Every structure is written in C-alpha cells, then in structure tokens.
Amino acid sequence: LGTGPLKGRHVLVTSGPTHEPIDPVRYIANRSSGAQGTAIAAALRDLGARVSFVTGPADVPPPAGVEVIPVQTAQEMAEAVNSVLPADAAVFAAAVADWRVANAAGQKMKKDGSGSLPTLEFAENPDILASVSQLQAGRPKLVVGFAAETHDVERHATEKRARKGCDWIVANDVSPGTGIMGGAENAVTLITANGAETWPRLTKHETARRLALRIAEALD
Ligand code: C5P
C-alpha cells in the first residue's frame, strides 16, 4: 500500500447487492455476488490507491487493506457514498435495487388465517451513479458505471453512459448460459467517450486489474 501509480489517490468503489426490507425478517435482494466489485477494490489497492469500499451484503469477503463501509439498503449506500466523497475516481459496481418497499412493516407480517394476501407498494431508490455523475461541485474526475445487459450490449451501454452522465461504462452480457453472473470470469465491453472496446473473456481478477490500470492512466 502507498506505492504504485495510484499512490495518493482516493477511489470509491460500490459493490454487492442491496437488501430492501419487507419487514424486520424479510427482504428483496438480487443475485449479485460482489465478486467483480471486490476484485476491483483489491486491484486499485494493489496500485497504491486509498480505497473506500461501500458494500451491500455480498457472498465474498471484502478485501484487506481498504476502508469497508457495510450497508444493507440503497438509501444507506447513497448516504455512505456521500460520506466518503470527495474522491479522485468512483467505480459503481454495486447491483443497487431499483425499488424499495414503501410500505415495509415495522413488525413481522403474520398470516391471519383468513387467506388475505399482503400487497407490497414500491418507491424508487436514488440512482447513486447518476447523482454522483451529475454533481456540480466535487464530482470525481472519473466516474465509472456498470451495465449488465442480456442483448444489444454495446447499444444499451452507450445509451446508459449518456443517460447517467458517467465517463465510462463497463458492460457485460449476463444472459443465461454465459455463466458470468456469480461466476469467476467476465467478458466486458468498455464504453468511453472514444467508443467501445471489447475485452477478451478473463477472470474477474484479471478484468479488475486491467480496469485499475486504465483508471491509473486516466488519472495521470
Ligand atoms: O440503470 P442500471 O441500474 O442498469 O445502471 C447500472 C449502474 O448504475 C451500475 O453502475 C450501478 O451500480 C449503478 N446504480 C446506482 N444506483 C442505482 C441503480 C444503479 O448507482 N439506484
């Protein structure tokens, strides 16, 4: 720690899924393992960065040598991100729930025996990537988002880059059969202002290493 091309740089990484409570014992989640975000945080650390790692409840442990800020919900993740800014670069690898349950119960919901069914109402969560990308003051120099797509990866990711206002999108094809979601490998397309670059299928560690090197180059 403390040497390498990212020495003296502060980089924020979000990772993992979020859990959105239904009641004190139930939640809505997604299948993100946190593997790619964790590998990115470790790779940035290895290049000398000070890394703030804001993570939802992931399957894999956080890397050593980074500042870990554990969160459960998207709203907590948004607050944690605000609390660690400013940063030189920010990588948003988390799979944030788009919606939270608006009518979450304060006590465990019970079957009342009448056969009546609960109804969940939803509210939209804050879009953390978009809000940081569009900061008027204190925007990180480099903001990187992710896009998990099942088809037309390049087109959808290019549109997402424009819509969110981030600098880069790391897009991957997560359609069934690729084995990427939850697997050890990734095949990504990097979308920048200069267009799309397709990387070979690599381990998530090697993908992270390449991305960290590109981030170091961009901040140089
Ligand atoms: O729009 P979509 O959710 O597909 O965009 C994915 C990208 O946006 C990821 O980088 C993810 O971390 C980020 N995101 C976020 N906050 C949200 C939703 C997505 O930061 N509420």
Three-class DSSP labels, 116-184: CCCCCCEEECCCHHHHHHCCCCCCCCEEEEEEEECCCHHHHHHHHHHHHCCCEEEEEECCCCCCCCCCC
- Residue from 128, 152, 174 whose mutation best tests the ligand 1 pocket (most atoms within 8 A of CB): 128
Residue whose Cα lies nearest atom 21 of ligand 1: it is 127
Segment 130-135 mean pLDDT: 98
127 in ligand 1 pocket by Cβ < 6 Å? yes
pLDDT at 127: 98
- Encode pLDDT of 149-194 as tens digits: 989 999 999 999 999 999 999 999 888 888 777 778 999 999 999 9
Decide which of 3.40.50.1100, 3.40.50.10300, 1.10.357.10, 3.40.50.300 is the CATH code for 10-98+122-219.
3.40.50.10300
pLDDT in tens, 94-122: 999 999 999 999 999 999 899 999 999 99
Per domain, the residue ranges of the chain are 10-98+122-219
pLDDT for the residue numbered 2? 61
Please tell me the pTM assigned to this model. 0.96
pLDDT of residue 182: 72
Query: Which of 73, 129, 181 for a ligand 1 pocket mutation test, highest count of atoms within 8 Å of Cβ?
Result: 129
